[in-house]
Amino acid sequence: KLEAVIFDLDGVIVDTASFHYECWKRIADEQGVPLDPSVNERVKGVDRRTSLDIVLERASRSYAEEEKAALARRKNELYVERIERLTPEALLPGIEAFLRDVKSRGLKTAIASASRNARLVVERLGVGAYFDAIVDAGSVAKGKPDPEIFFAAAEALGVPYRNCAAIEDAEAGIAAIRAAGMFAVGVGTEARMRGADWLLPGTEMLSLDELSDRFAG
Ligand code: B16
Ligand code: MG
C-alpha cells in the first residue's frame, strides 16, 4: 500500500539545473576549460564534487585536491547567490497542488536530494511545511545512483521501502529508486527515464489517483 512519496528536488520541485549550469560554466570559463552543454544532463542528480570532476574532464592539466575543493566552494558561492533569490513562483507546474493532495490523504512526504542546499531551496520556495523529512547529500555516504539516500528518506519517515514511491528527473535518480526497490516515477523523456515504472512528460501531469492506481496495479 502506498504510504509515502519521496521527491527529488532539482528537476521535480524546482528547475535549478540552469543555475547549476551557469555556475559551472563560469568556473569552466575562468579555468579555460571547454564546457559542452551536454554536461547539463550528466551533472543532474550528481553531487557537487562528482559534478566538478565531470566539468574538469577536458582540462589540459590536473588539479590538486585543495584546488578542487576551492573550485567547488566557489561554484557553491555563485549558486547560493542565485537560489537566495528564488521565490514560490519558481515551483514547477502542478507540484504544490500534488503536495496538497498527498498530505490531505495522510501520506508521508520526504525530499531526497543530492543538493546540500536542499533546505535553503525548500525554504525559499515556501514549501517546507509539506515535508516530513529532508535528506540531502550531507546525511549519506554514497550518492545517487546508490539507493542509500532513498532508504534514508524511508527510514526518516518510518515507512517500509516497499510502500514508497519516489519521483526523479535524472537517470542516476531513477537507478537509485529502482535499486531501493521502490516504485519509480520519472519526469522527462522516455530515452532518459528508462526503467521508470511510470513516465510523465512533466510535473503538471502528476496525479495522486493515478499514482495510487499504478502503484497498486
Ligand atoms: P549542491 P537533486 C542535484 O540536485 C542537482 O541535480 C545536481 O546537478 C547538483 O550537482 C547536486 O544537486 C548537488 O548540489 O552543489 O547544491 O550540493 O536533483 O538531487 O535535487
Ligand atoms: Mg533532480
30-63, pLDDT tens digit by residue?
999 999 888 888 898 899 999 999 999 999 999 9
**Is the CB of residue 143 below 6 angstroms from any atom belonging to ligand 1?**
no
Q: Which three cell numbers mark 215?
A: 502503484
Q: Tell me the pTM.
A: 0.94
Which residues are known to be catalytic?
8, 10
Q: Mean of the pLDDT values across residues 103-113?
A: 98
To the question of whether residue 44 is assigned a binding role by annotation, the answer is yes
Q: What is the pLDDT of residues 173-202, one digit of tens each?
A: 999 999 999 999 999 998 889 899 999 999
* C-alpha–C-alpha distance, residues 153 and 144, integer Å: 13
pLDDT tier, 73 (very low <50, low <70, confident <90, very high otherwise):
very high
Type of residue numbered 145: P
* C-alpha–C-alpha distance, residues 205 and 26, integer Å: 34
**Is the CB of residue 135 below 6 angstroms from any atom belonging to ligand 1?**
no
Sign for the pseudo-dihedral over CA of 87, 91, 97, 99? negative
35 alpha carbon – ligand 1 mean position (Å):
18
* C-alpha–C-alpha distance, residues 150 and 158, integer Å: 12
What are φ and ψ of residue 116, in 5° steps?
-75, -5
